[in-house]
Structure 1
Amino acid sequence: MDILTGQVAGYSAEDRERWVTERAKNPRRSAFQRDRARVLHSSGLRRLGAKTQVVSPGSDDFVRNRLTHSLEVAQVGRELARYLGCDPDIVDAACLSHDLGHPPFGHNGETALARIAADIGGFEGNAQTLRLLTRLEPKVAWPSGRPAGLNLTRATLDAVIKYPWPLEEAPPVTGESSRLQKFGVYADDLEVFRWCRNGRADGQRCLEAQLMDLADDISYSVHDMEDAVVGGHLDLSSLGRDEVRAGLVDITRRWYLPEVSAEDITGALDRLTACSYWQHDYDGSRRAQASLKHMTSQLIGRFAAAAEAATREEYGYEPLARYEGRLMVPEATAVEIAVLKGLSTLTVMVAEDRLRLQEIQQQVLFDLADYFQAKPEALEPMFAADHREAETDAERLRVVIDQIASLTDHSAWSVYHSIHAGAHDRF
């Protein structure tokens, strides 16, 4: 690494190129450090503090929201990048950005917006993230006035793209957690997508995107389980019961790993619960909370170390970057991560009261879409301007989708209540 600029070897001038050319104002900061700073100071990142991770913000003082989750993902991703020789600022920026496009109410909101946008190319949180970074977040514009979003470098934008293909090229869905087809770009954002992909059409992700994805999986699996325990949803002492294990096997296969056997899933659970740091009960005391925190820390280290060791075994110890290699995650590690996800899903996401709330939340977003389509003057000023400039009904509906996706859980409820109370049209 260059001590003065913070630049890591292995990245070219092309990797550091921006869609709109800018003159670097501070030669002591690398292009990727500036990328991370732009994401960190963005309004989109701040809004994640009031967006659902699994449990709605405000319902519990302990549980994660999208912002705290993203910060934790960035820490895990940054360490993985350091281990493997990637630029940590690229991976950090990608991790901070990875959930920016998610709408209010988490994946439930994503499902609702996908239904609303079904005739105009759909909705997908990752495609919305690319749209936000390259169009919606105000920072840089072309000389013509056309928005360029945060104008991140090619390497950082590519690292954000978890699904490097449009909807029409998306692979078939597998598992119930993937009811929506996963894709990374809408049709009207293909220009910048192709620019940052720099001609790659093979669907391969750069190494930095793979690190972001693994960091997300690790954080999601471990921390959501921790939240479920502290929230009283998951009883660690029940994991030896046959009916609990049967439910875990069922949900893990249906949601995450449909091809994995029941024996592999229970084997993964047995390996985890046999670890010396695994906590077998929880009573809410300070001592129990400290033990639980120690367990989560050790699990993160376990998963990250397994991926690092497997990748080093495949590629040796030279620094890796961009398309110089693939992240190797052992199958046993992938199953262990999925088992932890399954524990949270079984006890929180598919609980009966949660499913009823999800129906209500979706109706909120349906009503907001109807409202903004009927009263575009009620859109926020930036989106109202986009709506006036739109030339087709499809473009106007996409603006409405952009507006709704930008809302927090709180602001979505606030507008919904104002509609039904006959309050002011603007919020």
Structure 2
Amino acid sequence: MSAGYLPTPVYEYSEHDRGRWVAEAPKNPRRTAFQRDRARVLHSSGLRRLGAKTQVVSPGSDDFVRTRLTHSLEVAQVGRELARYLGCDPEIVDTACLSHDLGHPPFGHHGEIVLDEIASGIGGFEGNAQTLRLLTRLEPKVFTEEGGPAGLNLTRASLDACTKYPWPRADAPAGREGAPVRKFGVYDDDARVFEFYREGRELGRRCLEAQLMDLADDISYSVHDVEDAIVAGHLQLADFRAEEAVAGLIDITRAWYLPEASDEVIVSALERLRKASYWPRDRFTGTRRDQAALKHMTSQLIGRFTAAAEAATREEYGWGPLGRYAGSLVVPEASAHEIAVLKGMATVTVMVAEDRLRLQEIQADVLRTVAEFFGEHPHAMDPMFAADHAEADDDAGRLRAVIDQLASLTDHSAWTHYHRIRAAGTDLF
């Protein structure tokens, strides 16, 4: 510890915060309830599957690019540091960051859109709501006294921290115009556990730990998606000196991330980033020196955004420990605009590129084909989901079991099922 450094005290969490949906016998006193929560997520099958799920570029297409697992680990590191700065329990924020993408299906956000279409008659699909379902029902760990699944049975504080959108679909805000999936955090048939850990909390208000997770996610994917796009050859920062490239960036940033922002606001954010001493000036050629310069930029940008949020929050609330509902995270407007511009760079060069859109059409066919097959041949699903299908009371419950199975698939396993179905059809089973 350096001379003069005093760590921020940790917010005092209550026994109510440490309560679990299913009561458990006392555990090893050397580990806190929140440390056990993190360990349960870290050892979950859902987290392992993220290693083969698309972040931006499909896994296996490049040895460098991030998967949802490596992205989640990076989010956890950023979130943990933010928690330490502000006095939240780092284990809670770490758990939320590791969990935040658990419910996302194969093929990235486009896979989420396809599953939402398939499930439109039963309440839809949303990756964050699926995360809660996985944590509280699908991941095998704990069962209720009645014999039903209770998922990982995390504490109230950890489940609350994992909830990015604390409302059901019926109460979901419209979001940006034209957004294909409305963001919400709980399906109707998971309402009981949602009410358990949200008891007494205002609908829509997020705890501080959830806010830290959300910012860590925004920082990580804005910075790292740009890095991945550069290394994969999709993006050159030097191109954004050209008027046409800047115009395209303005359009996509406004359409996807800053709907109310003027051209001047977006351009100003871009210029602030370009004026930074660590912003690469030359075209990326893949040399070791270029790689080092790019990594230096990502490190500096993460520090830039976390430090700004910490300073703004401390200015608002002082220097005592913060946690749960004792204060809110303050993100300076300038930082939010810069993060949005970085997201726009990755989006305009990767996510809406023509070759990417064609791939999305193919991936949609994969998911629809596998969904139809599982609906007609549920015995072909994994045993857990096949049992859920058999025990369901109605068609809605049976379709939800199919959706749960599809969401659990990795990109690779989705393709494997598709090719086997196309090659052999029902004769395979």
Normalised to the residue count of structure 2, the TM-score between the two structures is 0.96
Distance in 1, matches of 2:209 and 2:228, equals: 28
Distance in 2, matches of 1:242 and 1:266, equals: 11
Residue equivalent to 2:172: 170
* Deviation, structure 1 residue 23: 1.6
Distance in 2, matches of 1:116 and 1:24, equals: 43
Counterpart check, 1:127 vs 2:106: no
Give matches, 1:141-152, under 5 Å: 141-152=143-154
Over residues 69-95 of structure 1, what are the superposed CA-to-partner deviations in whole Å (9 max), with x where a residue is unaligned? Answer: 000000000000000000000000000
Residue equivalent to 1:215: 216
Over residues 330-378 of structure 1, what are the superposed CA-to-partner deviations in whole Å (9 max), with x where a residue is unaligned? Answer: 1110000000000000100010000000011011111111101100111
Residue equivalent to 2:34: 32
Residue equivalent to 1:158: 160
Residue equivalent to 1:44: 46
Give matches, 1:265-280, under 5 Å: 265-280=266-281
* Deviation, structure 1 residue 144: 2.2
Residue equivalent to 2:4: none
Q: CA contact under 8 A between 2:10 and 2:321: conserved in structure 1?
A: no
**What's the secondary structure of 1:227's corresponding residue?**
helix
Residue equivalent to 1:19: 21
Indicate the larger mover: 213-222 or 417-426: 417-426
**What's the secondary structure of 1:45's corresponding residue?**
helix
Over residues 228-254 of structure 1, what are the superposed CA-to-partner deviations in whole Å (9 max), with x where a residue is unaligned? Answer: 111111112111110010000000000
Letter in 2 for 1:39: V
* Deviation, structure 1 residue 201: 3.3
Indicate the larger mover: 234-243 or 298-307: 234-243
Counterpart check, 1:245 vs 2:246: yes
**What's the secondary structure of 1:263's corresponding residue?**
helix
Distance in 2, matches of 1:426 and 1:81, equals: 51
1:95 to 94, 97, 112: 97
* Deviation, structure 1 residue 175: 4.8
Distance 1:425 1:98, change over 3 A: farther
Q: CA contact under 8 A between 2:308 and 2:331: conserved in structure 1?
A: yes
1:401 to 400, 403, 425: 403
**What's the secondary structure of 1:422's corresponding residue?**
helix
Give matches, 1:27-426, under 5 Å: 27-175=29-177, 178-281=179-282, 282-422=284-424
**What's the secondary structure of 1:239's corresponding residue?**
helix
Give the gaps of 5 or more residues in structure 2.
1-8
Q: CA contact under 8 A between 1:52 and 1:65: conserved in structure 2?
A: yes
Residue equivalent to 2:3: none
- RMSD of equivalent CA atoms: 1.2
Over residues 82-120 of structure 1, what are the superposed CA-to-partner deviations in whole Å (9 max), with x where a residue is unaligned? Answer: 000000000000000000000000100000000000010
Q: CA contact under 8 A between 1:44 and 1:406: conserved in structure 2?
A: yes
How many residues are paired up? 420
Indicate the larger mover: 338-347 or 16-25: 16-25
Q: CA contact under 8 A between 2:420 and 2:428: conserved in structure 1?
A: no
Residue equivalent to 2:6: none
**What's the secondary structure of 2:41's corresponding residue?**
helix
Residue equivalent to 2:5: none
Over residues 28-84 of structure 1, what are the superposed CA-to-partner deviations in whole Å (9 max), with x where a residue is unaligned? Answer: 100000000000000000000000001000000000000000000000000000000
Distance in 1, matches of 2:319 and 2:300, equals: 24
* Deviation, structure 1 residue 8: 4.1
Residue equivalent to 1:4: none
Letter in 1 for 2:209: E
**What's the secondary structure of 1:220's corresponding residue?**
helix
* Deviation, structure 1 residue 10: 1.6
Q: CA contact under 8 A between 1:136 and 1:147: conserved in structure 2?
A: yes
Distance in 2, matches of 1:239 and 1:24, equals: 58
Q: CA contact under 8 A between 1:379 and 1:426: conserved in structure 2?
A: no
Distance in 2, matches of 1:247 and 1:80, equals: 33
Distance in 1, matches of 2:258 and 2:180, equals: 14
**What's the secondary structure of 2:241's corresponding residue?**
coil
Over residues 115-167 of structure 1, what are the superposed CA-to-partner deviations in whole Å (9 max), with x where a residue is unaligned? Answer: 00001000000000000000000000112220000000000000000000000
Distance in 2, matches of 1:202 and 1:152, equals: 21
Indicate the larger mover: 21-30 or 40-49: 21-30
Letter in 1 for 2:328: R
**What's the secondary structure of 1:164's corresponding residue?**
coil
Normalised to the residue count of structure 1, the TM-score between the two structures is 0.97
